[in-house]
A and B are shown apart, each in its own frame.
Chain A
Amino acid sequence: MLSEIVDIIVYILLAIGVFFNLLAGLGLLRFPDVYTRLHAGTKCTTFGAIFICGSIILLGLKMWFQGSSDGSVLAIHTAGALIAILITNPTGAHAIARAAHRSGVKPVGAVVDDLEGKPARKSAPMKKGADK
C-alpha cells in the first residue's frame, strides 16, 4: 500500500520535471534574442532537474527501506549531482550573458539599457610575476 503511494508520487514528480524540461526547449525556439533565451534555458532546466532529482531520491530511499543496498548510495549521489547542477547552472548563464553583451549583442526591443555605452572594463590586471 505505502509503496504504491510512493510510486504515484514519483510518477507525478517525473511528469512535472519533464514538462519543465520540454518548456525549456520550446522557449529556446520561440524567444527573440540571447538574453530571453537564457531566461528559458536556465530557469526551466534547473527547476525540472530539481523535480527529477527529487523523484530519484525518493525512489532510492524506497529501495533502501525494502532492503536493497544500492538505494542509499543512489540517493546520496543524486543529491550530490543536484547540488552540482544548482551551483554551476546560473553561474554559466551569467558568464554567457556577460560575454554576449561585451561582444556587442544588443537586447531586442529594449526599453532601457543602463549598460549601453559603458566601455568594456579590461579584465583584472594579471599579477606581474605571472607573465614572466
Chain B
Amino acid sequence: MLAFVVTTILSFIIYLILTTGSGTDIVILNKDFLSWSFEEIIIGIVLSVIVGIIAKKLFVKKNFRMANPIRWFRFIAFIIGPFFVGMAKANIDVAYRVITGKINPGIVKISPNLKTDLGITMLANSITLTPGTLSVDIDEDKNDLYIHWINVKKEALKKKPVDCKYICGQFPRWIRRIAE
C-alpha cells in the first residue's frame, strides 16, 4: 500500500511539473510560473493512480531508503562536484585522442563491491561518462563490471581484478553513501 502511495505521489508531481502554466484556475506564486487549470489536475490524478497501480512493484523493491532527503542532497552534490569535473576531463581527453589518433585499448574487469541494483546502475552510468572508460558487461552474481578502457596503463594490469582507483577514482565511495 505504501509503495502504491509513493509511486502515485511521485508521478503526480512529475505531471504537475510538465503541465505548469496551463491555466489560471489554481495559482500558487505567480500567474506565469506555478498555475494549473482544474482539468489538468483531474486528468493528472486519474493518470497517476493508473501508473501507481501498474508500476508499484517495479518502482519500489524492498525498503524505502531512497525516501531520505539527505541522500538526494548527496546525489546533487555528487552530480555538480566530482561527476561534472570528470565529464569535462573526459571530453578534453576524447578531443585529444580524436586529433592525434593514439589509442591503446583493452577490456578489464573491476569489482567495486556494491550490493544494490541502483548503486551498480549509477556506477555504470558514471563510468561511461567519465574519462576513457565504457562499461560493456556485468557479472550479475558478484556485481563485477567489465570495462572497455581506451588507454590501458601497464602498472594497473599486475593485479586482477584491476584496482578501482585506476578506472573510477573515488566514485564507489560516493555511491555507497548515496544508494546503500
Contact = CB atoms under 8 A, between A and B. Distances in A.
The finding on whether chains A and B are genuine partners in a shared complex, rather than unrelated, reads yes
Interface in B6-31: 17-18, 20-21, 31
A121 B140 CA distance: 10
Contact of B104 (A20, A31, A111): A111
Interface stretch (B70-78, B145-153, B167-175): B145-153
Nearest to B162: A114
B136 A115 contact: yes
Given A91-B125, A112-B106, A43 B98 contact: no
| Interface residue range, chain B | 35 or more
B150 to A, nearest CB: 6
A43 B83 CA distance: 13
Interface residues of A, number: 45
Among B98, B103, B108, B124, the one with the most A-chain Cβ atoms within 10 Å of its Cβ is: B98
A115 to B, nearest CB: 5
Nearest to A111: B106
B interface, over-half SS: mixed
Contact of A47 (B91, B98, B103): B91
Contacts of B17: 76, 80
A91 B126 CA distance: 10
Contacts of B124: 90, 94
Given A46-B129, A77-B18, A98 B136 contact: yes
Interface of A: 20, 23, 26-27, 30-32, 35-36, 38-40, 42-44, 46-47, 50, 64, 69, 71-73, 76-77, 80, 87, 90-91, 93-94, 97-98, 101, 107-116, 121
Interface of B: 17-18, 20-21, 31-33, 87-88, 90-91, 94-95, 97-98, 101, 103-109, 124-125, 128-129, 132, 134-137, 140, 146, 148, 150, 152, 157, 160-161
